[in-house]
Each structure stands twice: as structure tokens, then as C-alpha cells.
Structure 1
């Protein structure tokens, strides 16, 4: 069952994450998801939890109350609506992936060159994604360090990361020092994927910084798949290079 409550006292993404973490610690809670703009939390639970129990799980800064008397006892309908909403939010990401794929295919269609396709795909991927990150260079590092392990410890890494992507993109497109570019790709995306995986396993709902802050995308399995595709391509290219 999923119940929706009103939560007051939240002012930023940090508050949002804090409330979600505190509620998710309750054994009866499957997942708590905050809508910061509406000051609401949707709590999926295995059995009914009293409002007093929910309030006791939160710090004194936050107050939780029943949004309305009618709770939702049809989780299948809620899940369908949530999936539709998530797909709608991720549409820009799928659209960009489609454009990158089509462009890479057209660049290598006659004659067909699978190696060239993967190099162009990775190059265009980095260039396009770095563009969106650079649109808000001040806001990107804040979002990025919420899940990237290195950015959490070394904040300057978040500022440098978009430029690393630009350089890697140019290296792939210009076929310059490809081996080095592939190794760096495995390194930086591997680290980020660890952070993404931890975020998903901890049931945290945060904004994904893959397209910067210009497009507000939720952290989902799509982010994990996106990084995995790039890493798999990098591994394949390294195997081909050394065989």
C-alpha cells in the first residue's frame, strides 16, 4: 500500500534526502519518495504505519501529517502512474541517446565500421553530455557530489568533470590516444556507477546530474544502464586493441 502525507520543514534537496533516509529506516517502509515542490511524501509500506510512528522517525525540524483521509490501497495503479511519470521525465535522456546512436550509425554506414561506431558514439556522448553540464557549471558540482564518491571527498572534481568529458569526447572523435581515453572512461564511469548503485540500493530519490541541472532527471536504473553501456563499449574496444 502507498500512503501520501504532507511534510513541512523541508527547504532544500538536503532536507529531502534526510527525510527520505529517516523514513526508509523504518522496517515497514518499502520506499519513501519526496516531492519537494509539493511538500509531499509517498510512503510505500508493507502494513499500515501510524502517523505518530512516522513522526517519531523524523527529527524535530520536520512535521508530517495526513494529506487526506483517503489512502491508496491499489499499489498496482500507483506503480503504473509512477512508471509513466518516470518515463516522461526520462524522455529527454532517451531522445539524446537516440540522436547519438543515429548519428554514429550514419557516420559509419558505408562501409559499416563497428569500431568507428563505438568510438563516435562515445565521443558524441561525452560532448553532448558535457554541454548540458556546462550550462550550469555552478549548480552541477552540488548535484554531482550527492552520489559520486570522488566528488564527495574532493569537491573540485565536480567542477573539473565536465571539462574531462569534453577532452575525452574530442579524443574519441579525433582518434587521439584512444587507449588512454578508454582507460580513463572505465575509471571515471566506474566510480560514478558505484555511487549510482549505492543511491538506488538505498532507495534515495535525488536528481541525476548526467545532463547537468538544466534538465531535472531523477536518479533511476536508466542512469546505471547509461554508464554501463559506455563501460562495456570501452572494455570491448580495449579487447579489440590488444588482440
Structure 2
């Protein structure tokens, strides 16, 4: 018999491999195949194994639930699709809550630091500096898992794996440069390059409609790759471009 399960908590190929190994080690399981993009596992077993058994076999960071096949002959396909879409959007918004809160705090901090200044050019530098420092902090929390997650959508990290390891430190350096006003033109150019590359990967992921996790806040917070990720990068790129033009 074959059953399909949803698995939450996987952020990289290392997670997928670990989950697959744990599931295959459960007595009675013939084969367990895990799909990272769909966050699903298809398990073929000799006899019925309850979900609790699989949950015990997995580390606490993962949550497993069986995918139920539902039938509703009284509802139209259009209505079902609309309901599913609404539920998906709601879930995305809930998952993006940490990102929105962090951006809100950075914005408030920037306003408090600059509300008495006549020019808001300095405010943009402070915002970008705080942005990089905070976001790099979350990435450094899991230096082991971040590169694998980042490599799933960043074009340069796919070609050059070492780039994923040094990326958090590049962000830290940029944050300090902006806050301390050190070599601002160089910091702006580097910002445009690294975020431009990432945005290309994000755009491709969104166009391909792939369901993967965004590594913008590392792997500590589970964030879906959505249009919000694109907007987040776009804001930083626009700010960097404006500042660079003002300096020329």
C-alpha cells in the first residue's frame, strides 16, 4: 500500500535526505521518497503504519501529516479551487508574518534615527545597513543549513557553492559599511550586484511556480518563496540605485 504525507520543516536537500533516511528506516516501510519542492513524502509499506510512528521516527523540527483524499459531489470544481486558493493565500500571509514584523521594526528604527534630519538620504543608508545586519544575523544562526537552501534559487550559489557560505558575511560587511559610512559607492555597487543576482533566481522560481523555502532569513524561520521576497529585494535595489545616482 502507498500513502502520501505532508512534511513541514524541510528547508534544503540535506533535510530531504535526512527525512528520507529516517522514514526508510521505519520497520514495514518498503520505500519512502521525499519531494522537497512539494514538501511531500510518498511511502510504500507492507502493512498500515500510523502517522504517529512516522512522527516518532523524525526529529522534532519536522511535522508529518497524512494527505487526505476528499470528495465533495455537491461542490463545483470552481468553488473548490477558489477555496483552496484562499486557504493558500492565507497560509502564505501567516508564514510571512516574521518577515513583515522584522521589516516593520527596521523601518521604525530608521525613522527614529532620522526624523530630525532634513535629508532622507542618510535614512536610506541606515535602513540598508540595519537590513543587512539583521538579515545576516538570521543566516549566520545556521551556517550549515543556509547554503543548501540558498543554492536552491540563487544562480551564483548554484554554480559556486562556496558563495553560499560567505554570503552572510558579505551582508554583515555591507551593513557595517552603510552604518559607518565607509566606502558607500563600493557598498552600493556590491549591493546591486548580489541582490540583482538573487532577484533573477527569485523571479525564475516564481515564474516556474516552484514551492520552495526562502533563505532570506536563514533556516531558523520557515518562509515561503513568494512575491514578497521579490518586493523585498526590489526595494533594496531601488534604494541602492537612487543613492548611487545621487553620489555621481
- Separation of aligned partners in 2, 1:197 and 1:209: 14
2:16 to 12, 15, 23: 12
Q: Is the contact between residue 6 and residue 67 of structure 1 (CA under 8 Å) also seen in structure 2?
A: no
- Please give the residue correspondences for 1:46-65 in structure 2 after superposition, counting only pairs within 5 Å: none
- Please give the residue correspondences for 1:91-170 in structure 2 after superposition, counting only pairs within 5 Å: 91-170=97-176
Change (3 A) 1:240 1:66: closer
Partner of 1:70: 71
Q: Is the contact between residue 108 and residue 114 of structure 1 (CA under 8 Å) also seen in structure 2?
A: yes
- Secondary structure, aligned partner of 1:12: helix
Q: Any stretches of 5+ residues in structure 2 without a counterpart? A: 8-14, 18-32, 43-65
With normalisation by structure 2, the TM-score equals 0.74
- Separation of aligned partners in 2, 1:15 and 1:153: 24
Change (3 A) 1:151 1:66: closer
CA displacement at 1:66 relative to structure 2: 8.3
With normalisation by structure 1, the TM-score equals 0.75
Matched, 1:215 2:221: yes
Q: Which runs of 4+ in 1 moved over 3 A?
A: 5-8
Q: Any stretches of 5+ residues in structure 1 without a counterpart? A: 21-33, 41-64
- Separation of aligned partners in 2, 1:213 and 1:66: 25
Aligned-pair Cα RMSD in Å: 2.5
